[in-house]
Structure 1
Amino acid sequence: MLKVLYLLNYAGKAGTERYVQTLVRYLKDEKIDAYFAYNEEGLLVERMRGMGVPVFRIEMRSRFDFRAAKELAELCKRLGIDLIHCHYLRENYIAMLSKRRNPGVRVVYTSHFILANDFMTRLSNRILSPKQDRVIAVCTRGKEQLIRNGLDPKKIRVIFNAVDPTVWSSPEKSTLREEFGIGKDEFVMLCASRFAGDKGHKYLVDSLGLLKTLTDRPFRMVLAGDGPLLEETKEQVQRLGLQGNVVFAGFRQDIKNLFDGSDLYVNSSQHEALSFLILEALASGLPAVVTDMGGNNDIVNQEAGCGILVEYDNPESMAGAMKTLMEDKELLARYRKGARRIVEEKFHVRTMIEKTYEVYEAAMAGGPAEA
């Protein structure tokens, strides 16, 4: 059984942490012995311990932290680690540097972003590329950007993020409407994103202001999450007179409760690789209106028939899509069916787990990245 160390600088509560938790949950004890190392404490540390995963802390101050690389190499030797699975450039560089002291260990890197690297980072990528065993891109555009960033295309494999539809498809009685006093006739939209600049809340609220002028149907937008721009977004809602249309639900752990009480999921992000929240919403039977950014078009497209792609930072595009699904019941119902179908066919966790383990095996054997 492979011994795999998952290495993450910040063990928080976002999509990357959910990705790691999913791999460990489905691979641990059947395919791998799992271990976890981190730098900054967060919710994932607690969750790893709850799953019986040995947890270790390694201070990682920069990408070229040679002391951290030495400590990582010693830890992997002591535990007999076969493979390190990294998730950001800092950890990935440190893991590759650790191979100087522990050359037998393999390093797999999953890129969770679609961001252009600067010149020095591209140069570093090319220099370190021979030490990189395999790379996973979570969406098609992600692979394209990794190649532009200087990584070896022969080592990259696209494996979509995925969810377990059985967890999300069973309907539950939602308390959402009761909790926030939402009427039965109101159309409920949900956006569950951290209040940060790249999540597009300003543009989303502007779209809601426009939507209010385009339709007579009552609606509520439930904004779930926390973050540095929360208060600024609340002020914008107040300024536009949308207090009766927007609900600030705070950070929630009962996301399925929110899905089951909503009619539509909305993603307004500027940067998105492959959102777990979009996939979970679809698996719950929610159609989606999402920006045509990052990997969103791998999920929502004409073939999938589960929602509408809109132009980022274009309130007319976003408001028009929301209005269409608010007022066209037949289309909404068709997209509901498409939402569950596309998850089963393309984004089932079983597929993600099988393909990821294939990458582990290829890294150990030195075989091709693509199956």
Structure 2
Amino acid sequence: MSSPEQPWVLQICHGYDGPFLDCAHQYAALFRGTRYKVLTVYLTGVRNADVEAGSASDEVVFLEYSSRDMRGLKLRAIRDIARLVRTRGFTLCIAHRFKPTYIACLATRLPVIGVSHAFGVYRRRFRQWLANVFSKRLMLLGVSNAVRDDLRASLPTWPENRIETLYNRIDLETLQAQQVTREAARTHLGLPSDAWIVGNVGRLHPDKDQETLIRGFAKALPTMPVGSLLVIVGRGRLEAKLRSLVEALGVEQSVCFLGQISNAKYYFKAFDVFVLTSDHEPFGMVLLEAMAANLPLICSDCGGAREVVQEAGRLFPFGDHCRLASILSELPNSPIPTEKSYRPCLERFGYKAAQEVFKEKLHAFNKKI
């Protein structure tokens, strides 16, 4: 890898919706205090001053492609990225998700780190072929060991040290300063001040398995404090089905669907416990956000989320609503976690720890290309 006087890192993101603005911020922040500058490119999404400010980058470019532009061979994107690369002394490219990785490999001659945020990314034959063609200058990172192992299974001929883990991370001090008090959070969300509240934040999607959450809550409800509520934050295609389940179980007065809440992580202190029932959770950022609010955690024992929880929370077998109900029944009388009890886990997923791990992996990658 060349080392010009002012080296730049190119970061390519498909867009900034959902968690991906935070992902861009996380990776750009790895270069704080170094001699590298970071230019972040968002392939889709209109120019946005808040996104630009939140990207933690020295420069941000919005290419504003349409969904149609991102189909097929993506020739326009390849051409535009190739032109952009010629304007700086870029030494490395970080690409989030497959399409940006594909574009980075074809548009540049840079070493490319492709970050996978989901399972199954390289199970398709074309994607395996592309990864193998560019294997000499491509390294893959999974956001958890579970995602890393899925990548390794999809690319069995790759050496293990070219497919590694770099966990998602949290800026604990910043987030805790942003999280509002219990009273303010409940007022903002329109929730009663005296209820015992079970919280869940995520898309209403089969992978999140809110059906098990609702069934477990309904079963536990008679043993929980009077007036207990289940609060679900998020939207998705299963909303009507989940509402029908709530009615069928006769708990309409105890379950609240709040829809999409902007910056929901700021209001986690409204909950008394946080529950994640996902099946295919690549990482589980919401678990770190709940820890920052010092909430007890319950999580399904699968995917990348269990790597986050470990001994910091309670695990139950995926889909086992009876076991979930048992844990929910016990929690109101259990000790509340303290910031001190969560500190080791949060530090493990902090920016400082990630910077050290990334530095080691980048050094090893540079030696092999």
Whether TM-score is above 0.5 comes out as yes
**Which residue among 246, 256, 278 is the counterpart of 1:237?**
246
Aligned: 1:176 with 2:176? no
Cα distance between partner residues in 2 of 1:199 and 1:209: 18
Aligned: 1:38 with 2:42? yes
**Which residue among 324, 330, 343 is the counterpart of 1:318?**
324
Aligned: 1:366 with 2:367? yes
**Which residue among 24, 28, 31 is the counterpart of 1:24?**
28
* Cα pair 1:96 1:107 within 8 Å, conserved: yes
**Which residue among 286, 293, 297 is the counterpart of 2:295?**
286
Cα distance between partner residues in 1 of 2:59 and 2:242: 39
Q: Which runs of 5+ in 1 are unaligned?
A: none
Aligned: 1:165 with 2:172? yes
Aligned: 1:147 with 2:152? yes
State the identity as a percent: 20
Aligned to 1:57: 63
* Residue-by-residue CA offset, 1:192-233 (whole Å, 9 max, x unaligned): 112222121222222222222454554212211223333443
- Cα gap change, 1:300 to 1:241, in 2 (>3 Å): same
Q: Which runs of 5+ in 2 are unaligned?
A: 1-5
Query: SS at the partner of 1:238?
Result: helix
* Cα pair 1:134 1:359 within 8 Å, conserved: no
TM-superposed CA distance for 1:249, in Å, is: 2.5
**Which residue among 130, 135, 139 is the counterpart of 1:130?**
135
Tell me the TM-score normalized by structure 2.
0.84
- Name the aligned partner's letter for residue 331 of structure 2: L
- Cα gap change, 1:80 to 1:13, in 2 (>3 Å): same
The within-5 A match list for 1:263-302 is 263-301=272-310
- Name the aligned partner's letter for residue 163 of structure 1: I
Cα distance between partner residues in 2 of 1:44 and 1:351: 30
Cα distance between partner residues in 1 of 2:263 and 2:100: 31
Aligned: 1:156 with 2:156? no
TM-superposed CA distance for 1:269, in Å, is: 1.4
* Cα pair 1:265 1:288 within 8 Å, conserved: yes
TM-superposed CA distance for 1:252, in Å, is: 2.2
- Name the aligned partner's letter for residue 244 of structure 1: Q
* Residue-by-residue CA offset, 1:77-135 (whole Å, 9 max, x unaligned): 12332221111112212211223xxx2x2211111112274451464155334244322
Aligned to 1:194: 203
- Name the aligned partner's letter for residue 176 of structure 1: A
TM-superposed CA distance for 1:27, in Å, is: 3.1
TM-superposed CA distance for 1:146, in Å, is: 0.8
Query: SS at the partner of 1:39?
Result: strand
- Cα gap change, 1:230 to 1:208, in 2 (>3 Å): same
* Cα pair 1:96 1:131 within 8 Å, conserved: no
- Cα gap change, 1:254 to 1:314, in 2 (>3 Å): same
- Cα gap change, 1:91 to 1:152, in 2 (>3 Å): farther
Tell me the TM-score normalized by structure 1.
0.84
Which deviates more from structure 2 when the two are superposed, residues 33-42 or residues 266-275? 33-42
**Which residue among 349, 353, 356 is the counterpart of 2:355?**
353
How many residues matched? 354
Aligned: 1:72 with 2:46? no
